[in-house]
Amino acid sequence: MKSQAIKAAEPLVEELKKDSIDDALIVFCTIESNDEQDTDSLILQVADEISKTASNVGTTNILVYPYAHLSDDLGPPSLAIPLLIQLTKNLASRRLNVKRSPFGYYKSFKLECKGHPMAELSKSISVEKPKSKPKPIETKFKVFSPDGKLSDPEEYLNYQDHEFKSLIEKEVFKKALHGGEPKYLEYCKKFGIEWEPYSDVGHMRFGPQGTLLFELISEHAWSQAKSTGIPLFKVRGTNMFDLSIESVKQHAELFGDRLYEIDLDQKRFVMRYAACHQQFAMVKDWTLSYKQLPFGTFELADSYRLEQSGELLLCFRVRKLHMPDLHIYCRDTDEAKTVSHKVHEKIYDEIRALDREYVSIYNTTQKFFENNKDYFMELVKVERKPILINFVPEGVFYWVLNVEYTIIDELDRPREIATFQIDVGNAERFNISYTDHDGQKKHPVIIHTAIIGTVERYMFTIFDCATKAEKLGKKPQLPLWLSPTQIRIIPVTSEQLTDANRIADELEKMSRVDIDDREETLQKRVRDAEVNWIPYIMVIGKKELGTKKYPVRIRNEKKTNDFTVDELLTELSEKNKGYPFTSMTLSRLLTTRPGYR
């Protein structure tokens, strides 16, 4: 034995350190990444082949020798070591004299080979993966109305609320989605939000204006999480997790088949698809008391999902997304119900602030619904309309309730945005516990939520709102707090440019302001500001400088109002109240920006 070759080498026992064997069949073998499928059958086949070959060459002495150089698709040590041990035991049970070289070490050896016809032989043995797909989980849909009635979805096919009807047609009766390219894609391009052609498909990039939207939405997500009134801890971690860790593997299997996986250093990793792994791996190491519950952990987590390339949609269905993931740890299910009601109200406050409504899908078990009907009634009161309940089998999922908050987009297609779950399985899976008042260790119930959805899906919602507004004859626009430029100053001539910069200095105290200093007509510059969705357009000429009252055109209003600088700041402050603010991500003067002349 020379030295350890890999960090995950197996522990050395005395008989593995140094040994010799004569007249033996040496089995140089490699475990590959796909050998985890039906390992019992695999080991049986390999042992049969080795036994047969040993008999043919006339020996009962076997040396199992791990030899990584036989393949470039190595399985991780967590797979290889148990399989090699299992192989050795199987061969020994056949009354063969078996020895095994340790896994994961640099070793020196001397080998003499007989001139036998079968002295050098290679085989590749694998078990075919099953071709049949798992049987789909059978579920049952019902509609639950605010009056407490549970009905069949068929009764709502002619329902007066078109959006709820659309949800039922798609989710229950699998009506095909409408085709066509959504209008909002034009808006994304306007603000520098697009696919990154130098990456894998499904990855986005953000220009200066898109970056500002991204940063503001991210800060807003944290602000809304804090506004629940629950003690929160903001954390940060990695995005790659080891699938040889049982809790990570189990959680990944529950997630499904949209996993980004990476093979590295003889290990298999999964790129996180939410912040669950990181937050749970961290919280399991915390010493917790019942007195500290409920509390939450929050991370804006870059997450990865291997979506089908044909289903990718900018901002909505992407392969890299940013999840403002909040997990709230509760003593038990009763406390989780109370806390989740606060989360539910907050989710609805957010969508109604955009003058939109969700139509919701509640995935739950029949037992949980029947035992907690009053709780469901409280949730539906917030909704103010029926919900679609999808009853799932008992014991299949780690949650007892999973709510999907869905908008109906401009093309009449349901689009899930926000979510929350009541998780009763992962605390035990990840060994998260707290000490109860009686001194007993207990596993908390965990609420998963993204109050505004992912950053990208919130952008999608914002742009979809603009599309719907335009269809109603209004001017499309962003909410004021998200507008990259909130005020554009247009000096009538270059003589007012110095004063325009002075006024911009004052307005920048609590707004984002730029100046159109181009040598274009006043009419063209006003029109360009309208095209670029500028909420406030201020024109400055000699007359205005004398009165210190400036004509300001407000988007979607048919008149021009006169404001002093202080009056305009007061209006902006009032309209932006409760939302985050950040400075410009573009230079002030339009003539200094790429693309402007």
Q: For the chain, what is the total number of helices (H) and then of strands (E)?
A: 17, 27
Residue where the block lists tokens 């207990």: 442
> Residue 70: which pLDDT band, with cuts at 50, 70 and 90?
confident
Among 106, 125, 150, the domain boundary falls at 106
Quote the pLDDT of residue 76: 82
| Phi, psi angles (nearest 5°) of residue 589 | -85, 130
Token pair belonging to 386: 């029926």
Q: Does residue 247 fall inside a structural domain?
A: no
| DSSP assignment string, 415-449 | EEEEEEEEESSHHHHTT--EE-TTS-EEPPEEEEE
* pLDDT of 36 strictly over 80: no
Q: Does one domain contain both 198 and 289? A: yes
305 touches 350 (CB < 8 A)? no
Quote the pLDDT of residue 445: 98
> Residue 47: which pLDDT band, with cuts at 50, 70 and 90?
confident
* pLDDT of 13 strictly over 80: no
Q: Does one domain contain both 168 and 313? A: yes
Buried b (16+ CB within 10 A) or exposed e, 126-149: ebeeeeeeeeeeeeebbbbeeeee
Instruction: Evaluate the CA torsion angle 370, 375, 381, 386 in order and state its sign.
Output: negative
DSSP β-ladder status, 150-151 and 320-330: unpaired
How many Å is the Cα radius of gyration of the chain? 32
**DSSP summary character for residue 483:** -
Q: Does residue 534 fall inside a structural domain?
A: yes
Q: Does residue 373 fall inside a structural domain?
A: yes
Q: Does residue 434 fall inside a structural domain?
A: yes
Tens of pLDDT along 494-552? 999 999 999 999 999 899 999 999 999 999 999 999 999 999 999 999 888 888 889 99
Token pair belonging to 219: 């800060």
Element (H, E) at 405: strand 399-408
**DSSP summary character for residue 159:** -
Tens of pLDDT along 299-358? 999 999 999 888 899 999 999 999 999 999 999 999 999 999 999 999 999 999 999 999
Tens of pLDDT along 446-455? 999 999 999 9
Q: Does one domain contain both 561 and 490? A: yes
Quote the pLDDT of residue 548: 83
Quote the pLDDT of residue 2: 61
CATH of the domain at 379: 3.30.930.10
CATH of the domain at 41: 3.50.80.10
How confident is the model over 156-179, as a mean pLDDT? 89
Cis peptide before 294 (omega within 30 of 0): yes
pTM summary value = 0.79
Quote the pLDDT of residue 533: 96
Q: Does residue 251 fall inside a structural domain?
A: no
Q: Does residue 115 fall inside a structural domain?
A: no
Q: Does residue 429 fall inside a structural domain?
A: yes
Q: Does one domain contain both 215 and 184? A: yes
Which has the closest alpha carbon to 317: 511, 182, 470, 164? 182
Residue where the block lists tokens 């709230």: 328
> Residue 4: which pLDDT band, with cuts at 50, 70 and 90?
confident
Quote the pLDDT of residue 23: 83
Tens of pLDDT along 389-413? 999 999 889 999 999 999 999 999 9
Token pair belonging to 105: 């070490």
Token pair belonging to 479: 């909410």
Q: Does one domain contain both 399 and 522? A: no
Among 11-20, 219-228, 305-314, name the one with the lowest average pLDDT.
11-20
Quote the pLDDT of residue 101: 87
Q: Does one domain contain both 331 and 445? A: yes
Domain count of the chain?
Answer: 3
For 547, the domain range is: 480-592
**DSSP summary character for residue 586:** S
Which has the closest alpha carbon to 326: 240, 466, 227? 227
Q: Does one domain contain both 317 and 441? A: yes
* pLDDT of 73 strictly over 80: no
Q: Does one domain contain both 160 and 193? A: yes
Q: Does one domain contain both 442 and 415? A: yes
Q: Does one domain contain both 569 and 515? A: yes
Q: Does one domain contain both 341 and 459? A: yes
Q: Does residue 256 fall inside a structural domain?
A: no
How many CA within 13 A on the CB side of residue 503? 29
Among 400, 429, 464, the domain boundary falls at 464
Residue where the block lists tokens 């349901």: 414
* pLDDT of 125 strictly over 50: yes
SS3 content of the chain, % helix, strand, coil (to 5): 35, 25, 40
CATH of the domain at 581: 3.40.50.800
List CB contacts of 530: < 8 A, sequence separation 6 or more. 475, 537, 555
Token pair belonging to 305: 């999902």
How confident is the model over 254-259, as a mean pLDDT? 79
Which has the closest alpha carbon to 493: 541, 549, 552, 548? 541
How confident is the model over 240-258, as a mean pLDDT? 85
Quote the pLDDT of residue 112: 73
DSSP β-ladder status, 434-435 and 441-442: antiparallel
Among 464, 489, 512, the domain boundary falls at 464
* pLDDT of 118 strictly over 60: no
Q: Is 411 helix (H, G, I), strand (E, B) or coil?
A: coil
Which has the closest alpha carbon to 573: 483, 487, 511? 511
Q: Does one domain contain both 338 and 424? A: yes
> What Å distances lie between residue 163 and 159, 477, 586, CA to CA?
9, 23, 39
Among 209-213, 241-245, 256-260, name the one with the lowest average pLDDT.
256-260
